[in-house]
Amino acid sequence: MNLTDLSATALAKAIKNRETTSKEVTAAFIENIEKQNAGLKAFVSKEFETALQAAEDCDKRVAAGEKDLSLLFGVPVALKDNMCYEGTKVTCCSKILENFIAPYDATVVEKLKAAGMPILGKCNMDEFAMGSSTENSIYGPSLNPWNRERIPGGSSGGSAVAVASRMAPVSLGSDTGGSIRQPASCCGTVGLKPTYGRVSRYGLVAFASSLDQIGPFSRNIEDAAALLNVIAGYDPKDSTSIKTEVPDYSRFLNQSVKGMKIALPKEYLGKGGLSLDVSEAVKEAIAIYTKLGAEFGEVSLPHTEYCLATYYIIATAEASSNLARYDGVHYGYRNKNAKSLYEMYTSTRAEGFGDEVKRRIMLGTYVLSAGYYDAYYLKAQKVRTLIKRDFDKVFKDYDCILTPTAPTPAFKIGEKLADPIQMYLSDIFTISVNLAGIPGISIQGGFSREKLPIGIQLIGKPFMEGELFKLAHAYETATSWIKSRPPEAK
């Protein structure tokens, strides 16, 4: 039995049934990391010793006959490098935080520990989660395991690569404008962005506080549902956390979708920039759901054309505010050769931040500045309300919205670095979900002619992740895409 080929839920069952041990499972994934990480650059820090110790503790609990263990008990997990894990480095893949040690655990990390999930280490990402390709990392880009000349998506590229290449059974990423769903699409994994407030952001290094949300990567829907069960829930330490019941997401699996109504937004389909391969994958998904008994209707989300501009005003404004704390005074990188306080501030930030982060800080500072606040930031917030209302109107008549996850399969490394606008357009189908605060999931929707994965996105009503899991699992069961694996993982 090759342990790294098993799903996370299958591994947990095997551990509980004493067919294997958590330490054996964790060691198997560590071995895969040692073999593949140098070539794929998924992990930027490794916590193997701590993970093996945690696995041993899990095995002692199983041996003691402990009951009521979590759905993913004993299964190792990887974290994006913007989540605090006490006593370990959290750098956001930025020079300005290159030696920062987390002084406490993020709430999601506390929940993983409580569920008995050993943490393998931290995964590569675009600096401060700003990017769509993981090319903005100080550690260099992660590489797509389906084709090493291609990007893995971003900003949670390393987390997606770790799962796709069998270096981790599941992982966590963060999604501000598509940073879980777009890498999931590029790497052929499942990626869920939960409803805003469903998962605590306490201990997540902030990019844009009204948009950020932590979510799971997995190889199948069952594992994604199990991991969301572990990390979801109200947290008094996060003022944006919502106090609402967390259902058992596993009960939504293996259910009929007959009669469910799926909306097709005309603004997302047939537009310029949508590749033929992606368009055909969407058509095939519609055909499969139709056979399963789902019903479709065309709808309009009329403010879609304003999503990109709205997002890059709000996100950069919040980034400008959040990143003001990195000044060389409190923690992180400092230019020690500066001759004055002003020079220390300016040189530290100039040397510590990469080009994309500087670009967004400057944009955000501009739209928040006197004389421009009302014209840009305030207007963007009003348009954001209109975008949310578009979704609310559709969800009065439909259970779900189906769109592509990304306009194209993974593009070549370096292809869009010189053109930020083209890079930003990679998230054209995902940013609206963050602006509206609703859940979205990317599922494997087949392959392009170049044998690159294509993602299909399902968008749901607030706090109705269970409905997304129901639809996604029905599609997954009706197809064979999840049986495919990248050549680099064999």
Interatomic CA distance for residues 103 and 88, integer angstroms: 8
Burial 141-151 (b: 16+ CB within 10 A, else e): bbbbbbbbebb
Compute φ and ψ for 25, nearest 5 degrees. -65, -50
Interatomic CA distance for residues 186 and 475, integer angstroms: 19
Q: Is 321 a catalytic residue?
A: no
Q: Is the peptide bond before 155 cis (omega within 30 degrees of 0)?
A: yes
CA dihedral (392, 394, 400, 406) positive or negative? negative
Query: For residue 300, how many other CB atoms are within 10 A of its CB?
Result: 13
Query: Residue 4 is encoded by which pair of tokens?
Result: 């790294």
Opening angle at CA 187, ends 297 and 466, nearest 5: 45
User: Following CA atoms 266, 270, 275, 277 in sequence, which dihedral angle do they give, to the nearest 10 degrees?
Assistant: 90
Return the H-helix or E-strand segment holding 364. Answer: helix 355-368
Choose, from 22, 155, 185, 218, the residue flagged as catalytic: 155
Choose, from 159, 171, 174, 179, the residue flagged as catalytic: 179
Q: Is 165 a catalytic residue?
A: no
Q: Is 156 a catalytic residue?
A: no
Cβ–Cβ under 8 Å, residues 407 and 426: yes
Q: Helix or strand or coil: residue 384?
A: helix
Catalytic residues: 80, 155, 179
